[in-house]
């Protein structure tokens, strides 16, 4: 074990409020190569329900949702502090909506509160990506209203992936592309002969945005799970064992450090 590993082992045993922890966190931040930081970071914030079962036994899973949402807000601030330009937060997949109503409705309430909280920061552009039509109309409208209020913000761009699935996004992109070309009178034969990758990208939920450079997934899971399957073709992945509410700023800084130390090949 090297000195750096030994320090990290020691700091892992410290409470986040400890002086040594704070000092080490500042050390990590000062050593980051800012010229190599990712422009777009996406996070699969996994483990909220498991966290609730471990940390709030006897309570509802809502405790985990609230803890996870609070950490997402903190995560967004961490990203802003180091100059990340775009952040994508995956908070709900369509399959999550298949859970029992007594579990889904509190989760949706937490998501609405999260989006409203991010919008209330007053400096971030909050964009919703996903199939909002699958949500209860009142909640979908509340999400749209919060997002609309940030349209003129010029700070960090935050995508909140609500009712989001990658295959669904591709389906919607192709539907949009086909409808657009049909309105121009383009035949299927013509489209088949002229279709380019960029034409598909222009119809994604994230159209006009650079693809994520770094995707972080917590709770020890190491799979893509239908998240940004088009955009992640050349992304770097960072997997962490912590359940999402336990993911700390120092863990985020380590993820950035790991990213800056990688040689990106982009398929070459």
- Which whole-number Å values give the CA distances from 231 to 200, 206, 258, in the listed order? 11, 9, 21
- Which whole-number Å values give the CA distances from 101 to 97, 106, 107, 135, 243, in the listed order? 8, 9, 10, 12, 24
Which residues, including other chains, have CB under 8 Å from residue 209's CB and lie 6 or more apart?
A: 40, 86, 157, 159
- Which whole-number Å values give the CA distances from 228 to 56, 87, 205, 206, in the listed order? 32, 13, 10, 10
Q: Above 50 in pLDDT, residue 40?
A: yes
Q: Above 60 in pLDDT, residue 8?
A: no
Q: Above 90 in pLDDT, residue 18?
A: no
For tokens 């336990």, the residue is 246
Q: Which two tokens stand for residue 62?
A: 């809502």
What pTM did the predictor assign? 0.90
The CA-based dihedral angle spanning residues 260, 75, 145, 131, taken in that order and rounded to the nearest 10 degrees = 60
Predicted confidence at residue 17, as pLDDT, reads 55
- The mean per-residue pLDDT over the stretch 255-264 comes to 94
Of 3.40.1180.10, 3.40.120.10, 3.40.50.1370, 3.30.56.10, which CATH number belongs to 38-164+205-260? 3.40.1180.10
- Of 82, 168, 100, whose CA–CA distance to 132 is shortest? 168
Q: pLDDT digit string (tens) for 146-182? A: 999 999 999 999 999 999 999 999 999 999 999 999 9
Q: Above 80 in pLDDT, residue 36?
A: yes
Structure confidence at residue 21 as a pLDDT band (50, 70, 90): confident
- Of 141, 52, 163, whose CA–CA distance to 97 is shortest? 163
Catalytic residue set:
46, 96
The CATH 3.40.1180.10 domain(s) of the chain lie at: 38-164+205-260
- Residue 1, Cβ density class (10 Å: 0-12 exposed, 13-18 middle, ≥19 buried): exposed
Contact between residue 43 and residue 215 where contact means Cβ atoms under 8 Å apart: yes
Q: pLDDT digit string (tens) for 58-112? A: 788 899 999 999 999 999 999 999 999 999 999 999 999 999 998 899 999 999 9
The CA-based dihedral angle spanning residues 146, 147, 151, 152, taken in that order and rounded to the nearest 10 degrees = 40
* Percent of the chain at pLDDT exceeding 90: 84
């Amino acid at each position: 074990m090297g000195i750096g590993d030994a320090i990290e082992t020691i700091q892992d045993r410290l409470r986040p409020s400890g002086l040594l922890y704070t000092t080490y966190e500042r050390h990590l931040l000062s050593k980051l190569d800012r010229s190599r930081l990712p422009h777009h970071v996406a996070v699969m914030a996994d483990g909220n329900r498991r966290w609730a079962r471990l940390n709030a036994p006897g309570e509802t899973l809502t405790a985990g949702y609230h803890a996870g949402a609070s950490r997402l807000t903190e995560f967004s601030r961490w990203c802003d502090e180091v100059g990340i330009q775009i952040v994508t937060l995956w908070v709900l997949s369509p399959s999550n909506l298949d859970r029992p109503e007594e579990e889904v409705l509190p989760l949706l309430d937490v998501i609405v509160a999260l989006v409203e909280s991010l919008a209330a920061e007053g400096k971030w552009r909050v964009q919703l990506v996903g199939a909002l039509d699958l949500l209860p109309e009142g909640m979908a409208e509340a999400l749209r209203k919060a997002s609309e209020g940030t349209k003129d913000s010029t700070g960090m761009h935050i995508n909140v992936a609500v009712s989001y699935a990658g295959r669904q996004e591709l389906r919607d992109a192709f539907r949009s592309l086909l409808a657009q070309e049909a309105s121009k009178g383009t035949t299927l034969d013509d489209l088949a002969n002229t279709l380019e990758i960029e034409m598909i990208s222009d119809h994604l939920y994230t159209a006009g945005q650079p693809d994520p450079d770094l995707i972080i997934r917590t709770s020890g899971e190491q799979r893509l799970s239908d998240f940004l399957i088009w955009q992640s073709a050349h992304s770097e992945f960072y997997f962490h064992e912590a359940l999402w509410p336990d993911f700390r700023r120092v863990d985020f800084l380590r993820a950035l450090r790991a990213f800056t130390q990688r040689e990106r090949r982009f398929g070459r």
